[in-house]
Structure 1
């Protein structure tokens, strides 16, 4: 690719990025949608250029974001820009979708943690504490309204809300991981159909029904459960936070395994696709099926149900 063509491509991608960042920052409702497209210019440029060229493009994007969006645009540029560059280069190198997803999730997670630390140390702004403070204020207002209306209140709902607030505090590390995973999933979901139209073709992803997590995850989960019973850590100390977060992440893995098994069974039995999709919805919100799906995941992973069914049918 000659320099003139490279400069033209870079300028076009930067122009698209500038429009997207402006829409994201200054049009609140529309911005919730357009922010998901911010990674596209980075994916397109990185997939067709060298790493050095991509680095120069990234620096130019940061400068442009400061000009058009001030300091507020930098976090968005860093998170979506770095993730987009990683995805784009792995597409160029024809790496697997799983490898690309893991790498993009890791850089997204690291970037988010660094930004969080910067905001706390330099700007004295703790987003997590602000969220928890807002939740507590909401709880206090609810209590005041109940008292003002003189309604009988056994306090059960308030206790549950307070427990939820404490759980959010404890699960902060896991929430960072979950946010990074969700962000990369949304980036791929939104970006890949668009970049394909420009000749950037990602590797094919394995169907969700074929996803099987490493069996060792089940042993890790068992170890965490046993450790929780043996250590019985007090709420708030190091071991409590470590065990709670590890348990949360591993339980999510079991849920993913369980959902994959449901998709597999529905595919094998010719059940309409709407059924596993509805099951997924009721596993996430409201989490009516969550315990059942988690148990299914444990059984499938522990007893290799899909492999047994394949051998039986074979």
Structure 2
């Protein structure tokens, strides 16, 4: 009976995945929404039966996607399947929401890297070179537009700086991969929680954002990368790229910790939610000022257990 139900669920969820994939491929208007929902069938199946049976579902989805669309769509089920199985397996093992999110992020990072490798060696397509070409095309188009408005001199003066700054985007590719993986994991996990709660009468949810606490070791990684950035490193070298990627990624994580502390402080002091919401808005519109302040607050919170001190004061 269980084997029969497993096969039925697998076939049904594979069909759902294929429908979502066809929508994402052929209906551009809702491609972005469908992309975030694509891992959900894998999450649902793995949350019931763990990752081993989910591998069979992944293989079936990969074969069907190649037959119904094209071989070029093969990376999609690989990416969504690996990330979805990691989240679903964590739910199956009753891990916490943030542990599940972390595992899902790792799964999506692995999936994205496999897509790069797959594109390079199977399709003979270097995605990094494609990104560089897109950046160069955007620079050329911007230069043409500015020349049409009579800003040739300004363009010539600033073009070298603009080109260098945009070139950094390629160097920070690992960070962008991590950010995309974080977003994919979070949205797909949140949607899956809603579906599982509705269909299986469970109470899965993310704990309040104010409870987010990152490990203290993150500070040491951040400061090590910060110290390394002061050295005169070769900008074309691997060490320079690695240091700046680590610095940016840990900086983003500590900024999240800073926002988490602001939410915690507002809750602990019974203040209006307008304070944390305003802090987010100000950081978005004035990042050169508030981003570093929020990040510093996150560092202090992690390093000196700031919220524990506030909690002790309440007692």
Checking the alignment, whether the CA contact within 8 Å between 2:50 and 2:88 is kept in structure 1 is: no
Residue 177 of structure 2: aligned partner = 176
Spell out, residue by residue over 1:222-242, the C-alpha distance to the aligned partner (whole angstroms, 9 max, x if none): 22222222x310211122112
Instruction: Name the residue aligned to 1:16.
Output: 16
**In the aligned structure 1, how far is the partner of 2:81 from the partner of 2:297?**
38
Cα distance between partner residues in 2 of 1:153 and 1:291: 34
Superposition pairs of residues 190-269 of structure 1, within 5 angstroms: 190-199=191-200, 201=202, 203-229=204-230, 231-269=231-269
Unaligned runs of 5+ in 2: none
Moved more, 278-287 or 163-172: 278-287
Describe the SS at the equivalent of 2:287: coil
Aligned to 1:45: 45
Written as runs of structure 1 = structure 2, the 5 A alignment for 1:157-172 is: 158-172=159-173
What is the alpha-carbon distance in structure 2 between the residues aligned to residue 244 and residue 202 of structure 1?
40
Equivalenced residue count is 313
CA distance in 2, matches of 1:296, 1:142: 38
TM normalised by structure 2 equals: 0.90
Provide the secondary structure at the position in 2 that maps to 1:197. helix
- Displacement of 1:16 in angstroms is 1.3
Q: How far, CA to CA, are the matches of 1:309 and 1:295 in structure 2?
A: 17
- Alpha-carbon distance in structure 2 between the residues aligned to 1:186 and 1:157: 39
Q: Which whole-Å CA distance do the structure 1 matches of 2:139 and 2:226 have between them? A: 32
Note closer, same or farther for the CA distance 1:285–1:188 as it changes in structure 2 (3 Å cut). Answer: farther
CA distance in 2, matches of 1:285, 1:120: 38
**Match of 2:206, SS?**
coil
Mark the CA change 1:9 to 1:149 in structure 2 (over 3 Å): closer, same or farther.
closer
Alpha-carbon distance in structure 1 between the residues aligned to 2:113 and 2:286: 29
RMSD (CA atoms): 2.3
Q: Is 1:118 matched up with 2:118? A: yes
Which sections of structure 1, spanning at least 5 residues, go unmatched?
A: none
Give the structure 1 partner of residue 190 of structure 2: 189
Change in Cα spacing, 1:47 to 1:114, as seen in structure 2 (3 Å) is: same
Tell me how far apart the structure 1 counterparts of residues 89 and 18 of structure 2 sit (CA, whole Å).
Answer: 22
Contact 1:94–1:203 under 8 Å retained in 2:
no
3-state secondary structure, aligned to 1:270: coil
Evaluate the alpha carbon distance shift between residue 141 and residue 61 of structure 1 in structure 2; reply closer, same or farther with a 3 A threshold.
Answer: closer
Tell me the CA shift for residue 171 of structure 1.
Answer: 0.7
